Amino acid sequence: MLIMRQTILHQLLFIVLSLFPLAGKAVPYSVSEISLLEIHSAISPATYDYLDYQFKHIPDGALILIKINTPGGLITTTKDIITLIGSQTKPVAIWVTPEGASASSAGAIIAASAHFILMSSGTNLGAATPVGLGKDIGEKDGRAKALNDLKALVRSLSEIRNRPAKPFEEMIDSAKSFTDKEALNLKIIDGLLNNTNHLKQLIDKKSFTLQGKAMELQIAPSVVTKNYDPTMGQNILNVIANPSTAYLLFLLGVALLYFEFQAPGGYIAGGIGASLLVLAAISFQVLPVNWGALCLLIIGIILLILEIYVTSYGLLGLSGLASFVAGSLFLFHGESGFISIDYPVLISTLMGVLAGSSIIIWYMIKERKKRHHHENFFLPIGSTGTVLTKLDNDGASYQIKVRGEIWRGHSHAPLEIGDKVEVTSIDNEKLIARIKKVDKE
């Protein structure tokens, strides 16, 4: 009995010792595609939208290689991008390129979250001290809070990526920046890369951690490189996400709304102002991109409907069409939006609207030529309006609203505010409408 127990124990011990070397062995990750993305602007919501959208279209078995050249950007968006990279089931490599490029501030923090960091010759990485975070950043407690939060973040990222954390902390605490060779000596990057042909030599067979699992990169000999370019909507969003552009949109939107309130009735200034304010809200991250795009679509539809009832000589229609196009480009770009629609469908729809508008304009021109008194074609003669205010005590002059326009009207019969009137003629020299009361049916 004792001999049997010893035999079983020896067999179990042999199995355990045989499997022990395999316990820490890395799982191979075979790379069949190198997915190439580019960031050549400040880190903004447009950057996150671009990465989030493209990551969803990259197939399994790919290595995501992001070429980066950025002066920095919003810390909130930076943290969103770090979370996005950490949630991927595919490894992400940051490549600071081309020569003269830098991954500064937010770019350096994003690089710290990548599984691999590569740099071209003549580039630099670092200078990640936060600036312009508000009035309290000048105070000792406020500054310490912001710096310690970012230092803890890069320290945590460095630990899970098996890199020394101190250089990244110095980038934040002392605003240090490192050249490509300095970064290589400090072992915070995986190599110097000047073109993708040498990528396999640098990182093939390298170990990394992907969502807590030890893995080994294995680049296939037949690996292909595919570019993932931003959509048209993302390019536009990247332009308006610039802080200077966003502030200009905000000021223009407020000014146009002020003009609308000062001289109501035309809706042109108000419609364009509302669209600009929505774009500014998207740029300021007050509105998410999807909700902002939906607001632009609604504004565009309202302006197109108003074009039917208000004489704006096409300005409301053009403004509505521009708002509709911008909203469509932001919203309808695939899985990151609420709805997915192909660009040919969107373009054909817009072409249909333009064709319809062209037919209406052609018909108006044709009818204008038929009229003997063509100079009165755009005047509100024969149109009905409403009395807004009395302009004098004798009851002869009034301010009326007709066809969305504000006119000074003259009537021989006394009128009351709110009365319906008809324009019988126009004094072209004084621009005064002669009006008469419309009898209620």
- Are 383 and 403 in contact by the 8 Å Cβ rule? The answer is yes
Report which of residues 356 and 391 the model is more confident about. 391
Q: Give just the sign of the alpha carbon dihedral 196, 198, 200, 204.
A: negative
| pLDDT of 291 over the 90 cut | no
Domain assignment present for 143: yes
What would the DSSP string read from start to end of 66-130? EEE-B--B-HHHHHHHHHHHHT-SS-EEEEE-STT-EEETHHHHHHHHSSEEEE-TT-EEE----
The per-residue pLDDT for range 187-208, each reduced to its tens digit, is 999 999 998 888 988 999 999 9
Same domain, yes or no: 241 and 221: no
Mean per-residue pLDDT, 413-428: 85
pTM of the model: 0.64
Same domain, yes or no: 43 and 60: yes
The per-residue pLDDT for range 2-50, each reduced to its tens digit, is 555 556 655 665 554 554 444 456 789 999 999 999 999 888 878 888 8
Cα atoms found within 13 Å of the Cα of residue 253, Cβ hemisphere only: 14
Q: What is the structure's pLDDT at 337?
A: 38
Give 55's pLDDT tier (boundaries 50, 70, 90).
very high
Angle, CA 131 vertex, CA 125 and CA 137 arms, to 5°: 140
Mean pLDDT of the chain: 80
Range in 92-106, 335-349, 381-395 with the lowest mean pLDDT: 335-349
Domain assignment present for 368: no
Same domain, yes or no: 242 and 221: no
Same domain, yes or no: 59 and 200: yes
Domain count for the chain: 3
Report which of residues 130 and 336 the model is more confident about. 130
Same domain, yes or no: 255 and 154: no
Q: What is the structure's pLDDT at 239?
A: 76
Mean per-residue pLDDT, 94-105: 93
**Residue span of the structural domain in which 205 resides:** 24-228
Within its chain, how far is the Cα of 206 from the centroid? 35
Domain boundary among 228, 259, 274: 228
- Are 81 and 47 in contact by the 8 Å Cβ rule? The answer is yes
213: which 2 tokens?
A: 């699992």
Give Dmax (Cα) for the chain.
128
Same domain, yes or no: 28 and 130: yes
User: 422: which residues sit within 8 A by CB, 6+ positions away?
Assistant: 382, 383, 384, 385, 435, 436, 437, 438
Q: What is the structure's pLDDT at 31?
A: 92
Phi-psi category of residue 60: left, alpha or beta, with phi > 0 → left and psi -120 to 50 → alpha: beta
3-class secondary structure, 320: helix
Mean per-residue pLDDT, 404-430: 84
3-class secondary structure, 220: strand
Is beta strand 420-427 parallel, antiparallel or unpaired with respect to 432-437? antiparallel
User: 19: which residues sit within 8 A by CB, 6+ positions away?
Assistant: none
Same domain, yes or no: 212 and 99: yes
Q: What is the structure's pLDDT at 253?
A: 87
Give 306's pLDDT tier (boundaries 50, 70, 90).
confident
| pLDDT of 336 over the 50 cut | no
Domain boundary among 209, 228, 247: 228
Same domain, yes or no: 101 and 208: yes
Mean per-residue pLDDT, 229-258: 80
Q: What one-letter code names the amino acid at 391?
A: L
Domain assignment present for 349: no
Report which of residues 306 and 84 the model is more confident about. 84
355: which 2 tokens?
A: 């064709």
Mean per-residue pLDDT, 310-330: 75
User: 126: which residues sit within 8 A by CB, 6+ positions away?
Assistant: 103, 104, 108, 167, 170, 171, 175, 176, 177, 178
Domain boundary among 341, 357, 392: 341
Question: Whole-angstrom distance between the N-terminal and C-terminal Cα of the chain?
Answer: 115
Domain assignment present for 355: no
The per-residue pLDDT for range 154-185, each reduced to its tens digit, is 999 999 999 999 999 999 888 899 999 999 99
Domain assignment present for 280: yes
Give percent of the chain with pLDDT exceeding 90. Answer: 28
The per-residue pLDDT for range 115-125, each reduced to its tens digit, is 999 999 999 99
Give 133's pLDDT tier (boundaries 50, 70, 90).
very low
240: which 2 tokens?
A: 């308006």
Same domain, yes or no: 148 and 29: yes
Angle between helices 343-370 and 315-331 (to 10 degrees): 180
Highest mean pLDDT: which of 102-106, 269-273, 364-368, 382-386? 102-106
Same domain, yes or no: 55 and 106: yes
Give 258's pLDDT tier (boundaries 50, 70, 90).
confident
Q: What is the structure's pLDDT at 85?
A: 93
Give percent of the chain with pLDDT exceeding 70. Answer: 78
Q: What is the structure's pLDDT at 138?
A: 47
